[in-house]
Amino acid sequence: MQNRFLNAKTLRRENAKIYFLAASRRSFLKYFAPLPLCVFALIFFSSVVSAQIAIKGETVWTMTGEPMTNGIVLIKNGKIEAVGTAASVNIPSDYRVINAKVVTPGLIDAHTVIGLNGYLNQPHDQMALDNGASFQPELRATDAYNAEEKLVEWVRQYGVTTIHTGHQPSALASGQTMIAKTAGKNVDEATIVPTAMIAVTLGNAANATGRSPGTRAKQVAMLRAELIKAQENETKTEKAKDLKSLIMARVIKREIPLLVTAEAAQDIMTAIRIAKEFNIRIVLDGASDGHTLINEIKASGFPVIVHATMARPGGERANLSLENASKLRAAGIPVALQSGYEGYVPKTRIVLFEAAMAAANGLSKRDALAAITIDAAKILGIDNRVGSLTVGKDADIAMYDGDPFEFTTHCTGTIIDGKIVSTVVR
């Protein structure tokens, strides 16, 4: 059968025909290809209003403490109404009951480019990089985000409910990032934070062909020049009102941070040094050499969104370690995990599997799950809404038929803002 996207109706019709192919192709499909698993029949309820739902889980990870056995989560009007054990929470008779083996908060991908870059890998759906200039912090992710991109749908099937996405780390300043839910028919419905950070890259990936910067020294000189200009502009009575000046003013005033992608140790140290010089906020991104600079990163106080655990070593990632996240976390450094940027098909990883690999390489299961839920939410500044199963927070929930970190486990349902946005029919 040809590889292609299938809608829910077609999936149900062809499910029986292609079931026998699943075993031989499952390993490839589940991780690498943005194609539907044959066992999935996604049912989207785009017009349904938030329902009153009770989720019963044999294990419920609230991320506020130890996991509960035989837990219950009540959902009402898109919010979490109650969380507790079967002995402490009564399910009203008019609530729809959903059963799951394991229940977690909706997963958070702390850095991706999906929604700007699409699964087709063709020019018309690759919108995460503009080659017009090396420093373009004024470019807004919200102006390029496609809420109906198939990759957004794909990650949602694995329980990913929130993404921090935007312009890719392939220029000195490629543009702004945004935070969105993986549901909604358009950018306005999906967006949580329209401007979250400014994507900055240090190292070889920031070098341009045929123009500046071409070296690390030039990168830093250009970045410092823009920050100095922004500082000076803030002292003027009549401030410049062009788009670049307006967004850089927010950086200087510490309203938004720079998301600095820096893999090599020298670039990580440069990012920390610049942040200190200008008293600005940064979030370190990638940080392949982070495990070699634990004391320096901890002293800086900056969090790290660690490169995708299974990213390929080589070049500036030559010292990449599968234990990077666990070593940073053990030192008390705030850590989140990401799917990252992929320059090839299928254009995205699944952050759930990245966390599973981190859990197999030093992170406890609880800390690995936290890195894609509550800890990611804290780093992104959205923990008042998502990241844990807490009364009053958004009802974003992922349900599984086994240990989420086991490859053979399925995400049996995803709920966003109290609405069932995907489920599994077998």
Contact, 426 vs 130, CB < 8 A?
no
What's the token pair of residue 201? 């890259």
Domains of the chain as residue ranges with CATH: 53-106+389-423 (2.30.40.10), 107-380 (3.20.20.140)
Angle made by CA atoms 263, 269, 270, in degrees to the nearest 5: 95
Residue 346: its pLDDT value, please?
Answer: 66
Q: Tell me the pLDDT tens digit for each residue of 247-289.
A: 999 999 999 999 999 999 999 999 999 999 999 999 999 999 9
DSSP-assigned beta bridge partners for residue 420: 415
Tell me the one-letter amino acid at 123. Answer: P
Contact, 243 vs 175, CB < 8 A?
no
Q: What does residue 165 show for φ and ψ, rounded to 5 degrees? A: -130, 165
Residue 20: its pLDDT value, please?
Answer: 31
Contact, 350 vs 33, CB < 8 A?
no
Contact, 310 vs 353, CB < 8 A?
yes
Residue 359: its pLDDT value, please?
Answer: 97
Q: Tell me the pLDDT tens digit for each residue of 308-345.
A: 999 988 999 999 999 999 999 999 999 999 999 987 76
Residue 425: its pLDDT value, please?
Answer: 47
Residue 50: its pLDDT value, please?
Answer: 53
Residues of the chain with pLDDT under 70: 1-50, 345-346, 425-426
Residue 36: its pLDDT value, please?
Answer: 41
DSSP-assigned beta bridge partners for residue 284: 260, 304
Residue 220: its pLDDT value, please?
Answer: 98
Element (H, E) at 294: helix 294-300
